[in-house]
Chains A and B, each alone.
Chain A
Amino acid sequence: MPLSKPPRDATGEVVPHNHEGIMQTDRIIRRVSEEHFVPDPKAATGRRVSSLAFQASTIGNRGMSVDIESSIVEAGIDPTTFVTTPQYIGSVWFHAGYLRSEGFLVGYDPLPENPHHGEVWGNFTKGLRKKLLKVAQWFVEIDNVDLHVAS
């Protein structure tokens, strides 16, 4: 079933919320650009993903953009194809339940260019961003880049 419309404020902006249609076991995808890859001798490949790959925007409704896999599948689209269009870009995933257990809200925020767009709202402290890096799993893996680096 498609996700129901999210709550909006008077200006039409989606307000932070936990969408009841996004189940705890649903996979939440976060695209990771090559601009986020940095050299690190501790990484087996010599490269790692920067902690800045997981951050909220400081404008708009101040969430971290994500793609909701269940919404993409519901629309009959292959999620891997969806998140690598229009540009081929890496991505990682988390369970919505995990994000919520860390204090984040996981909501639905459809956009004209991305009807399966969601947001993760919360306090993206350095510690939490590093934790997300440790927990993240590749959805679309990029060669020669480590997600997990031993400290």
Chain B
Amino acid sequence: MNGIIIGAVVGSPAFQPPGAVHPFHSPNARTLITERPALWRGPTVARLDYLCRLPVGWNGYRAGPVSFNVAHFALRLLDAVCGPETPAPSLVPGSSGDLQIEWHSQTIDIELHIIAPNVVQAWRETPETGEDGQEVPLTIDFTEVAQWIKTLAEPSSAPIETAA
């Protein structure tokens, strides 16, 4: 949990600016929970909000909005795998309340299809996997996906920054 610090209140708390932390033994230590802002989070939350409000028929047929629970699950998934510097993903609505999270770079494509909470088809294509890619069904453990995402940060594979 980089950037998150939890302390205990000892004595009388005094106001401290955000991000300041005092050790336990200080008489004026204050409970602070701070988290480094993740660049991807703001645009992603905004996009998820938007997708949850799509009108029925947005795809020209009968598709409804992204399910509220799928959107929440998507954010929890991203919270588990994205670092502060991870580029914001693209978020594509499905026709049944589902959602696909995507990153595309010059050398890597990653697509996480959230069919429902706990039901995720993760797929990636790299020079090593070839055109067919590598597909992995996942439920709640996204450690492997986090490894895939790390490779996005490598200079040769940097994706275009997206407005999601």
Contacts and interface: CB of A to CB of B under 8 A. Distances in A.
Q: Do chains A and B touch in the complex (CB under 8 A)?
A: yes
A38 B102 contact: yes
B125 A127 contact: no
A46 B90 contact: no
Interface magnitude class on chain A: 20 to 34
B92 A48 contact: no
A93 B102 CA distance: 24
A122 to B, nearest CB: 15
B90 A50 contact: yes
The interface residues of chain A, by DSSP majority, are classed as: mixed
Contacts of A87: 57, 60
B159 A51 contact: no
Size class of the contact patch on chain B: 35 or more
A22 B51 CA distance: 35
B16 interface: no
A33 B96 contact: no
A120 to B, nearest CB: 12
B59 interface: yes
A33 B58 CA distance: 7
Contacts of A35: 51, 54, 58-59, 92-93
Interface of B: 51, 54, 57-63, 90, 92-96, 98, 100, 102, 104-106, 109, 111, 113, 115, 121, 123, 125, 131-133, 135, 159-160, 162
Given A126-B123, A126-B135, 15 more contacts: A31-B60, A33-B59, A35-B92, A39-B90, A40-B109, A40-B160, A41-B105, A41-B106, A52-B92, A52-B93, A52-B113, A56-B95, A57-B96, A65-B61, A65-B95
17 contacts: A31-B60, A35-B54, A35-B58, A35-B93, A38-B90, A39-B159, A39-B160, A41-B106, A41-B160, A42-B106, A51-B111, A52-B94, A55-B94, A59-B96, A83-B60, A89-B59, A126-B135
